[in-house]
Chain A
């Protein structure tokens, strides 16, 4: 496909086999693939007016625009990965000319080949864990040794002493809840890691952007054998049984394009 003067090339993903884009062609304009040696880059021509540096900076602040483009990016890669192993690229990876793209593919050829080989027959799943701290603190009353013994002390104390002990109890519950939160989320991550090939721990998203009222306490991604997600699901069910009473909630999604398992190491990342 020819690139007109005011068009740029948007790169979605790289595959090792010819991608079948027929289903997508009806939904996405100017979608095609560029072959380089035995790699295929799934790309589309996009308007420079919409995707040049300045426009991109402006447009990402427009939630409706962002939603549309981000879902399109995801939809295209998900459709391609129905039939092929993909190495997904970051949102809005744009090249000025086809020559720049093929140069980049050539310079990163070995890394891309290795990634495609390592990701073959595997898929990414995501687990996010949320915690309602009030429920966690409430659960401590029944099972946390330091809190139980302080409660007994309060029950036996004179009213004056009980007043001070109750103040002390607030701090103790907060500290114990914090400690348990760390222990429990670590246990969750370890148990999920055990049934996956690779695991990644990501930064928890701040409460202001998550629709859930609980706090996000674990944001992890796991690479597993394709179609074996029931093993990971089983682990999630067990964790839920163990931790639901403590205010934990589990969100498991997949299969995702392997966004978390395709980073190039710094040394091998070559500038185009």
Chain B
């Protein structure tokens, strides 16, 4: 499988959320459904993150092999 990019990053859920929820092309209109209020998701995340258990769960969701992450190799 040619997914080096997916494996070359030490990516947390938050890194992905930070992009896919707020960035990317937005199209609007009656025929389109989209996540309107991104702030609400962050409010929800904050509540969830206040528990240590959730923090651990999020961390275990991190992808490995930080080949391109200079902060991880020194």
Contact = CB atoms under 8 A, between A and B. Distances in A.
Nearest to A271: B29
A56 B33 contact: yes
A90 B70 CA distance: 28
B17 interface: yes
B14 A209 contact: yes
B4 to A, nearest CB: 7
Interface residues of B, number: 52
B45 to A, nearest CB: 5
Q: How large is the interface on A (under 10, 10 to 19, 20 to 34, 35 or more residues)?
A: 35 or more
Given A92-B34, A92-B35, A255 B27 contact: no
A104 B29 contact: yes
B65 interface: no
A208 interface: yes
B33 A88 contact: no
Contacts of A8: 33
Contacts of A262: 24-25
B68 to A, nearest CB: 7
Interface in B1-40: 1-6, 9-35, 40
Interface centre among A66, A75, A108, A236 (most CB of B within 10 A): A66
B31 A96 contact: yes
A99 B49 CA distance: 41
B33 A269 contact: no
A163 interface: no
A253 B13 contact: no
Contact of B31 (A75, A100, A260): A100
Interface string B43-71: 01110111000110111010000001111
Contact of B68 (A61, A82, A100, A229): A229
A67 B62 CA distance: 11
Contacts of A272: 27-32
A126 interface: yes
B5 to A, nearest CB: 5
A146 interface: no
A143 B10 CA distance: 35
Interface string A170-202: 000000000000000000000000000000001
B15 to A, nearest CB: 6
A108 B16 contact: no
B2 A104 contact: no
A122 B39 CA distance: 30
Contact of B11 (A52, A53, A253, A264): A253
Given A74-B20, A126-B15, A254-B68, A61 B29 contact: no
A243 interface: no
6 contacts: A23-B3, A52-B33, A81-B5, A252-B69, A259-B19, A262-B24
Interface of A: 8, 14, 23, 51-53, 56, 60-61, 63, 66-67, 70-71, 73-75, 78-79, 81-83, 87-97, 100, 103-104, 108, 115, 126, 202, 205-206, 208-211, 219, 221, 229, 233, 236-237, 240, 249-257, 259-260, 262-264, 269-272
Interface of B: 1-6, 9-35, 40-42, 44-46, 48-50, 54-55, 57-59, 61, 68-71
Which 5 pairs from chain A and chain B are nearest by CB?
A100-B31, A259-B23, A271-B29, A90-B24, A272-B29
